[in-house]
Chains A and B, each alone.
Chain A
């Protein structure tokens, strides 16, 4: 059997349907504001995180020793990582994939057009471990190459196209590579291998033409489990930087976490703005509850005089506030899903993350906040009702 005080509250809400509805709309707006703002923030965070975290599981190791040069005007570059250091890194990295990288900048010519870009020398077997070949195949022959999508589209390259590498100098015959495949776009890669505007050649080809055998510009360690990234970094540091700093060890996870914490702050901020509407709603709920109490003074007098406990009168009015909260929050929750989905798809253009727990949690969260706001707004009116003097209350008309 239902609590009679709940029945009384339901009937009171029904009796003043329009007024209750209007008060609840305030809650609806508040819940929608909080939930959809929260979901927008969460979706933003999730999509940025995914974009950034594609290669955030990579430790980048570069030499910390400056390469000295006697030629004036030559830019200062880092010394390479030598074979023994590479072996130390491999030992420290354990099961994780270690990828040594040669890199330089170069001019090249395709057909009769000159261009400029990076050249990476990689062991062909390493390439599929972190790069995606969009069309064509991986490097097979000694003078095969892969090209980034920007170069490919700017120079109309196809599989089988030839590229002359090096500065155009009439007196020297430049080496030629054949395009075996075109890489997928990578954007700004946080593992330091920016291939969109680069040519990838086999490491043997690279050392044949640029030297630097067993001397690498960068070594990447791709983690199997990103949670161990700090231990592995420490292990490498222990092993390699024993006496002096030989290598610099970096990863993108700190940058990712700072970006997502910034986004988190922004989300909290816009939710706080959204919650202003809940404050307004709280005032209107308070107002409606006070009206309900003031209209029912005589009824409260009757209830008190025939032996209703103060706590029971309080309960009756808190139920009423709770009912307003439930109505507002349920409607608000449903609206949040619809509005949140539209806002997310309009502003982020991607709703993949919308139904993930991190995002959808804002709907129940907003609803609970809405209900709590209602009940809190009802506290004073309920207290006032229960503390009326029954004689005065009965006498009022």
Chain B
């Protein structure tokens, strides 16, 4: 009995009425010396599997905070956050770590590749985290190829790559463990327009393959790619 229940928890409910991500009345308050700062103010939001959602808003509107919640890097001060059917607040530290590794793929504005690892090793790294051994299946190489990364550069360190190449590596790294959710924090923010659109094309392709894509952006042109745009202001959802 317990086993089945646990399995259900792991794989998600699989029912139509349960969204992949559910925020119900989520608040995040930072206790600062100057007083409490409410970054998220009673936010409720459902995101279904295979949605493409853009989150927009001015700086300080709570975009980063909501991304940190969705990425399980932080937990809500109050309210409930369910990701893939699991309540984030009840998870242990290690469970959150494993969830970040297996369910979520992060794509950052500043790429955030590991500087001491080569392009290939950066992509292989999440596989090593998951399987505790080096990749012998060729998966890392295959994913790198799928995002249009020049294979001849795979031994290069991140600082030897262009911004566009780095972002491709970062996307490959985010994808390699087959996450359900892709969290993209201004993925084109550090790229020129042309490269930015190329990256967006990759994300659209991934969405078509079934990934749930959540994208934070300033750029309305980029937000147009999404099916739904959520506008934040002062920690509240003001438009959806």
Contacts and interface: CB of A to CB of B under 8 A. Distances in A.
B101 A307 contact: yes
B115 A306 contact: no
A1 interface: yes
A67 interface: no
Contacts of B97: 304, 307-310
Interface stretch (B8-16, B76-84, B124-132, B144-152): B124-132
26 contacts: A1-B133, A4-B121, A4-B125, A12-B116, A15-B116, A298-B112, A299-B115, A299-B116, A302-B114, A303-B114, A305-B71, A305-B73, A306-B106, A306-B125, A306-B126, A306-B129, A307-B97, A307-B102, A307-B126, A307-B130, A308-B101, A310-B93, A310-B97, A312-B129, A390-B73, A394-B112
Contact of B114 (A15, A299, A310): A299
Contacts, number: 62
A12 B115 CA distance: 10
A4 to B, nearest CB: 5
Contacts of B133: 1
Given A306-B100, A308-B101, 10 more contacts: A2-B134, A4-B124, A4-B125, A8-B116, A11-B116, A12-B116, A304-B97, A306-B173, A307-B99, A390-B73
A304 B117 CA distance: 15
Interface string B59-72: 00000000010010
Nearest to B133: A1
A394 B125 CA distance: 18
Nearest to B112: A302
A338 interface: no
B122 to A, nearest CB: 10
Interface string A202-222: 000000000000000000000
A273 interface: no
Nearest to A305: B73
Interface residues of A, number: 24
B68 A391 contact: yes
A310 B94 CA distance: 8
Interface string A1-42: 110100110011001000000000000000000000000000
A1 B127 CA distance: 14
Q: Interface residue tally of chain B, by bracket?
A: 20 to 34
Interface of B: 68, 71, 73-74, 93-94, 97-102, 106, 108, 112-117, 121, 124-126, 128-130, 133-134, 173
Contacts of A7: 121
Contacts of A303: 114
B116 A308 contact: no
Interface of A: 1-2, 4, 7-8, 11-12, 15, 298-299, 301-310, 312, 390-391, 394
Given A312-B129, A390-B73, A391-B68, A305 B100 contact: yes
B170 to A, nearest CB: 10
A330 B98 CA distance: 38
Given A307-B97, A307-B98, A391 B73 contact: yes
Contacts of A391: 68, 73-74
Contacts of B93: 310
Contacts of A15: 116
B54 to A, nearest CB: 21
Contact of B101 (A4, A11, A306): A306
A1 B135 CA distance: 10
A310 to B, nearest CB: 7
B134 A1 contact: yes
Given A302-B114, A310-B93, A391-B73, A4 B128 contact: yes
B18 to A, nearest CB: 24
A394 B67 CA distance: 13
Which of B71, B100, B102, B116 counts the most A-chain CB atoms under 10 A from its CB?
B116
A304 B129 CA distance: 11
A301 to B, nearest CB: 8
Nearest to A393: B73
The 6 closest A-B pairs by CB, nearest first: A307-B101, A1-B134, A307-B100, A11-B116, A302-B112, A4-B128
